[in-house]
Chain A
């Protein structure tokens, strides 16, 4: 079936970087853009940006520009998000999500990856 499976929980110290993966299965990987969304504890959803797995093109939310990098490896159907210069307020669940072609609707979500930033 169509699914996105993310890597496991991470703990980092402030100032460090973290890289989270999102592996796709059950559909043509290069046909659908992948977006990344995070959710801090008790808070709403926050959009971070997207990557086009076909071209590798990206678009990042202004808030994260300079700190975020999204990449993909088409050979293993996996996209990645790397966030650098971590702060305590980056502690959140990070989700990848597939977007329906021609819309901005996220129809398939990964299970989420907990990233904890603590000294």
Chain B
């Protein structure tokens, strides 16, 4: 079975750029998705199909892919961006979905 690996935590100062990575062997063949989750709330879709942003998501959130790693980039981090971020992918042949372990973003 395949796994998605994220760093447990990332810290950044306000106004700086945060980069959160997600690694997995199947990522060159399968799309990645990113979610933001604040305490006590359901996740919110930030990025789909590696780099597409749903309507209503600020432009400072972007996604990219290179080989076995996908990256969520948050430019000009704001205090309100402090949250857990989850990457997700799927096996299109089995339609099984999997999530990374999540990354806690701390805004210093």
Contact = CB atoms under 8 A, between A and B. Distances in A.
Given A45-B86, A46-B99, A104 B31 contact: yes
B61 interface: no
Interface of B: 31, 33, 35, 42-45, 48-49, 54, 86, 88-90, 92, 94-102
Given A45-B86, A95-B42, A109-B42, A103 B95 contact: no
Interface string A91-114: 000010000100111110111100
Interface of A: 35, 37, 44-47, 50, 59, 61, 95, 100, 103-107, 109-112
A-B interface, 10 closest residue pairs, ranked by CB to CB distance from nearest: A105-B48, A104-B90, A109-B42, A44-B102, A47-B97, A45-B99, A44-B101, A105-B33, A107-B45, A59-B95
A107 B102 contact: no
A61 B90 CA distance: 12
